[in-house]
Amino acid sequence: MLRWALIFLVLALVAGALGAGGIAGLSMNIAYVLFVIFVILLIVHFVTGRGRRI
């Protein structure tokens, strides 16, 4: 999910540099939402402690 957030962020930066404001804004919003979901899932993962036990 973090990979997709970074892909949309790069797409937004490229679209913004080329002057496509609508696509840049949409891509930036998608990247933000995916990043927030990633952070929430990461926090839930750490709180619940569902990881490998050695």
pLDDT tens per residue, range 5-15: 788 888 888 88
d(CA 23, CA 9): 11
Count of C-beta atoms within a 10 Å radius of residue 31: 20
In this predicted structure, what is the pLDDT of residue 51?
A: 58
Q: What is the pLDDT of residues 2-41, one digit of tens each?
A: 788 788 888 888 888 888 778 888 888 888 888 899 999 8
pTM: 0.68
CA angle 28, 9, 41 (to 5 degrees): 85
pLDDT of residue 17: 84
Give start and end residues of each alpha helix (H) in the chain. Answer: 2-18, 21-48
